[in-house]
Structure 1
C-alpha cells in the first residue's frame, strides 16, 4: 500500500523534486525516513525494469525483507505501521509544499478572473488554499477601489464553491484558514458576504475564548476586528491580554509588525500597554536588519503614532538601516520615514548622503509630495544640503506645473530659512513670480505669507506683492474664522514691512497698519529670532567685564524700537570711549554683539540661518555696528586671557581697514 502511495505522489511532483529525491538517495548520510524512501524507490524502479533485472534486484534484498501475503514488503523485525507512519509524513510534506506553491502562485495573479481560473484547474482544494484564494480575490478588488465584490464574481460558480467550502462549517477550518478567510472578507463588508463574515467571527470568538488561537492567528484576528468593529471593541482587549502572556522573543517579524499596527489603532491606550510596548521595542532591535522597506516604514509610523520617544535606540537603528533602502522605498514609504525622523529629531550623515544621491539622480521623476517631504525634513532639521536644494530648484524651474500651490510653498520656503540661493536663483524666482501673478488667489493665505517672507530672508523681496499682503482683504483672509491673527503671522507681516522700509525705499504702496505690528520678534514658539545660548553668553560676559572693567558698560538682551533684541549692546561716544549702558546722551555709536550659538547656524555648519542673517542686515541698516561672536571661535580659545584679547580685537581693532561687523 505504501508503494502505491509513493508512486501516486511522485507522479504529481515536478521534475526538480524528483531529481532532488534521487540526489538525496545518492547521499550516504541519510536518516531513517530517507532510508525507507530509498528502499521503496528501489523496489518501485525495479518493478519497471525487465524480468532479469527485477530478479537480481530482489535477490540483493531478499535477506532483509519477507512478505506475509506475497505483496506487502517490510523490514524484518519492524512493525508494518512504522513504514506507514513514515509515508504519511512524506505525503504531508509533499502536500504542504504543494499548498505553499499554490499560495505563491495566487499572490502573483493580478485579477479575480485569473484567481478563479487557477482554482478551477486544481484537482483538490485544501482549506488553506481556499482561504488564500478568497483573500487574493478580495485584495485585488480592493485595489480597484471597490467596497464589495462585483456581481459577476458573486455569481461565479467557482467563487460560490469557494465561499461554500470556507463557510459551510468554520469549525472544521484550521486556525490559519479561519483567520485568513476572515481577513480576506474584512475590507469588503458588502451584504452578500455578511452572513459568511458573521459565521467566521463567531467561530473566531469561540476559539479565542477557549484559548485555542496561536500567536499569528491572534494578530490577524486583531487587525481584522479593528477594521470591522473599530479599535474600541472589547474582544481586542482579550486578544492583547493573551498576546501579552506570550514570550515576545518567539514572535516572528510579521507578527511584531502586526502588533505595532494593532496598538497604533488605539493610541489612547498606550499608557495601559506601555510595558508590553517596551518589550516589543527592545525585541524589535534584533529584527531591524531583517526588515524590508515596507516593514521599516510601518514600524516607524507606529512609533510616531504611539509617540515612543523612549524607543530612540530603535529609531536610531532603523535610521541606520534605512540608508540601504532609500532607493527601494515607495513614495509613500519614504514620506513616512522622513516624517518619523522629523518627529523624533533624528538625523544621520549617511542617511542624508543617501537621500542626496536619491534626489539628485531622480530629480525630474520624483513625486511632488515626496519632494515636499524631503524639503520639510531639511527645513525642520536645518540641513543645508546644497545637492538637494539645487536639484529641487532645477526641478521647480523645469516642472513647476506639477506642483500645487501648497507644495510650491513647501518647496521654496526652506531656501529662505536655510539662507541659501541656488545657482539658478534668477530663473527660480522669475518662475515663482510668474506663477504668483497668475495664481495668487489659489495659494492658501498662510502658506503664501510664509513663502513671500522666506523670499525676503534671502533678499529676494516680493515688492510686487507687498501691496496685496498689506491689504485689508488679504489680512481678513489670513485671519479666517479666528478672532485674531496668530502671533507668527503678525511677526512675519511686521518683518516684511520693516524690510520694505529699510531695503525697498522705492516701495510706495500701502503700509501695514500699527494694529498688525508686533513689538518684538523674540517670543516663545513664534519667534523670528533664535534665543541666545546662555552658556556662551556667560563666557562672553566674563570676558567683557575683564575687558571693560565693570558690568556697567554693556547691556544684555536689549529690545530695540525696531522689534529686534540685541544680545549685548555697547555705547560709544564720539571719541570712541565706552559709555555706561544707562547713558542716553552723547551716544555716537552703538555696537551690537551677536553671540551666535550653534542653533543660529545650519546643522553642523558655519552658515547662518536666514532669520539671523536678516536680523544682522537690518541692524546694520539701522546704524548699528554689528559684531559677530560665533561659538566656534570661542571654543578655540584656551584661557581667559585669550578670550579678553579676542574680544579686544573684535571690538577695538586699530586696523582702519577692518570692519566691526560681518556681512
Structure 2
C-alpha cells in the first residue's frame, strides 16, 4: 500500500508565492497517471543553464488517496481516481488559474524593481510569463515618454536572466508573444545589435517566411521593424504582400493604423500598392469612430505622406472626429492634425471653435511649433479668430525666446495677411522689433522680408529696418545663388518702398533702386492684389452702364503708375460731370471703384484682407476717391434697379440725379 499526499499551497495570495508540490512515492512502479517532480524547484533565475525541461505539478488541495496495488488509486471517500484525460483537464484548469493570478499580481506592480522582486519569488517562470514580465517593465518604465532604459535596469542580474531565458526559449513563444517581445525591447531602446534583439528578429523573419503570422502579428511586426530604424525593404515588402492576402474583416482598428504607418515608409513606391491602399481607405471609414486621438493623428499624417488626396470621404470623416479629440491631443499629435488640415485644405468651424478654447486656456503651455501651425491654419483658410490671435500675441510677448525664426515668421504673417491688430499691439510689435534687432542675422533674408512686409500691411511700419533691406548687401543675400530675384520678393520690396514714400514721409534713408521695383502688383502666382470675382464684377459693370448711360464713361482694370490695378476708374470734372475714360484734361477727381468679391475678405467675415486694406489706403494717399462695393452689401439687393440706385448713392451721394 502506498499513501500519496498531494498538497496544493497557494497561501499568502497577496505575495503570490507558488511553491512546488511535495510528492511522496513509496517504491511504486511508474504509472502514466502519476505526476512526478524530482528534487526541490529552485528560483527560476538561479539556474538558467540548459537542462532537461522541468515539470510543474498542480496538486489537488485537501484530498488523500489510497491504493491497493500501486496502480489503482482511489480517494478515501470512495471516489474513483480520475482517468488520464481527467488529469490533463485538471492540469489545464490549474494552469489557467495560475496564469490569471500571475498577471493580476503583475499588473498591480508599478516599478521595475517590484516586477523583478516579484519574479524572484517564483519557483519557475514559463517563457510566456517572462515575455509578459518584460512587457510590464516597459509599461511602468516608459509610460508615454520616449526615454531609454536606464543603465541600472540593463545591468541588473535578474533582468539579464529574464532576457537570457527569452533568448534560449524563443521557439516556445507564441507568434503574438514573440512579436510583442520584440516590440517591447524596441520601445525600451535596448541595443538593437544585442543578441536577444537579433535572435528575436531572426525568429520573426523565419515565421514570416513560413507564412504562419496572423494579420495582427504582421502589423505589429511591421511597426516594430520600422521602430528599429533598420527594417529592411525586403522584410517590409513581404509583410505588405502577406497583408494583401488577408481578409479586410480580420483587421482591427489598431491593425489599420499600423498598415498606414507601414505603407508610409513605402511612400516612394506607393503606386505599386495603390490598389491595396484604396481598399484600406474604403475599409477605414468603418473604423474611424473607434480610433484614439493618437491613432487619428497617425492616420492623417500617413495620408499626407502618401498624398491620398483622392481619399476625400476618409479625410473628411477623420477631420470631423478630430474635432472631439482636440482637448486630448498631445502637442505632437495636434501638430500632425493641423498639418493634415493645411495640406488637404480642410476647414471646419467646430474644429476652429475647439482650437479657440484650447488656445485661450492652454496657450502658454503649448509647444511653439503647435502655435505656429495653428496660425498657419488660420492664415491658409483666411480664418480671423480674434480669441486665437489675441492669445498668441500675449504668449509671444511672454515667451518670445522660445520661438525660432521660422516660427516667428509663421506667427507674424497671419496678423498682416488678415489685417488684424491685437489689443496688446504696442507691446506685441515692440517685442517683434526687439527680437529682430537681437537676432537679425539668424533670420534668412526671405523670411525677414516676409515679417517686415506683414508688419507694414497693418500700419506697423518697420522704418528702422528699411535701410538694411534696401541695401545692396541685403539684396544680394536675398538673391542667393539664383540669377534673379524672386518676383514675389520684388513686389514686397516695391510695396515697402511705396509705403515709406506715402506713409512714412519722415524716412530719409536709402531708397530702393528702380531696377528692383515691379510695374504691377497684380501678376499670376505672385500677386499682392486679389483679382476680381468675374460674375460679381460683370453684374456691377451692367449696372454702371445703366447708371452712366454709356460704357465710355468708365474704365476697367486700370493699371496706375503706382503698381496698383483699379477695378473701375471714373473721372469727374470740376462740376461733377462724368468724363470719358480717355479724357486727360479737365479731370478734377478720380474715383477708384473697388469691386470687392468674397475672396478679398476673411473667411465668413466682412473684414478686408491686409493686402486689400493697404491698397485702398495707398490709393487714398495718391489722391483717389476710393469707393468700396463689397459683395455682402450687393447680395442684399433684390433687383438690377436697386443695384443702380445703390451705385448712385455710392458714387454721387450729394446728387439727386446723375449727370453725364
State the Cα deviation string for residues 266-299 of structure 1 (Å, max 9, x = none).
1122222223222322332332332222222212
Report the Cα offset of residue 651 of structure 1: 2.2
Q: Structure 1: which 5+ runs fail to align?
A: 17-43, 49-66, 657-663
Structure-2 residue corresponding to 1:631: 631
Structure-1 residue corresponding to 2:240: 240
Structure-2 residue corresponding to 1:55: none
Which stretch shifts more, 201-210 or 220-229? Answer: 220-229
Q: Given that residues 99 and 126 in structure 1 are in contact (C-alpha distance below 8 angstroms), is that contact kept between their aligned partners in structure 2?
A: no
SS at match of 1:361: helix
Structure-1 residue corresponding to 2:465: 465
Structure-2 residue corresponding to 1:378: 378
Q: Given that residues 63 and 75 in structure 2 are in contact (C-alpha distance below 8 angstroms), is that contact kept between their aligned partners in structure 1?
A: no
Structure-2 residue corresponding to 1:69: 74
Q: CA separation in 1, counterparts of 2:13 and 2:470? A: 80
Which stretch shifts more, 332-341 or 634-643? Answer: 634-643
Q: CA separation in 1, counterparts of 2:481 and 2:138? A: 44
Structure-1 residue corresponding to 2:220: 220
Correspondence list, 1:407-418, <5 A: 407-418=407-418
Q: Given that residues 102 and 129 in structure 1 are in contact (C-alpha distance below 8 angstroms), is that contact kept between their aligned partners in structure 2?
A: no
Q: CA separation in 1, counterparts of 2:195 and 2:411? A: 51
SS at match of 2:590: strand
User: Are 2:301 and 1:301 equivalent residues in the alignment?
Assistant: yes
User: Are 2:288 and 1:288 equivalent residues in the alignment?
Assistant: yes
1:465/1:242 CA distance change after superposition, 3 Å: same
Q: Given that residues 553 and 578 in structure 1 are in contact (C-alpha distance below 8 angstroms), is that contact kept between their aligned partners in structure 2?
A: yes
Correspondence list, 1:79-228, <5 A: 87=90, 90-91=93-94, 93-95=96-98, 97-98=100-101, 100-101=103-104, 104=107, 108-109=110-111, 116-134=116-134, 155-186=155-186, 193-228=193-228
State the Cα deviation string for residues 555-585 of structure 1 (Å, max 9, x = none).
3322222111222223333433333334444
Report the Cα offset of residue 524 of structure 1: 2.7
1:229/1:452 CA distance change after superposition, 3 Å: closer
SS at match of 2:307: coil
Q: CA separation in 1, counterparts of 2:157 and 2:418? A: 64
Structure-2 residue corresponding to 1:659: none
Correspondence list, 1:533-548, <5 A: 533-548=533-548
Q: CA separation in 2, counterparts of 1:374 and 1:600? A: 22
Report the Cα offset of residue 608 of structure 1: 0.5
SS at match of 1:591: strand
Structure-2 residue corresponding to 1:40: none
Q: Structure 2: which 5+ runs fail to align?
A: 17-59, 65-71
Structure-2 residue corresponding to 1:53: none
Report the Cα offset of residue 307 of structure 1: 1.7
1:153/1:437 CA distance change after superposition, 3 Å: closer
Q: CA separation in 1, counterparts of 2:78 and 2:318? A: 59
Q: Which has the higher helix share?
A: 1
RMSD of aligned alpha carbons: 3.4
User: Are 2:440 and 1:479 equivalent residues in the alignment?
Assistant: no
Q: CA separation in 1, counterparts of 2:231 and 2:255? A: 18
Correspondence list, 1:382-421, <5 A: 382-421=382-421
Q: CA separation in 2, counterparts of 1:651 and 1:262? A: 63
1:280/1:627 CA distance change after superposition, 3 Å: same
1:577/1:190 CA distance change after superposition, 3 Å: same
SS at match of 1:570: strand
Give the number of aligned pairs. 600
SS at match of 2:557: strand
1:151/1:632 CA distance change after superposition, 3 Å: closer
Which stretch shifts more, 243-252 or 130-139? Answer: 130-139
Report the Cα offset of residue 610 of structure 1: 0.8
Q: CA separation in 2, counterparts of 1:91 and 1:486? A: 77
Structure-2 residue corresponding to 1:454: 454
Q: CA separation in 2, counterparts of 1:258 and 1:374? A: 27
1:524/1:328 CA distance change after superposition, 3 Å: same
Q: CA separation in 2, counterparts of 1:192 and 1:300? A: 29
User: Are 2:636 and 1:647 equivalent residues in the alignment?
Assistant: no
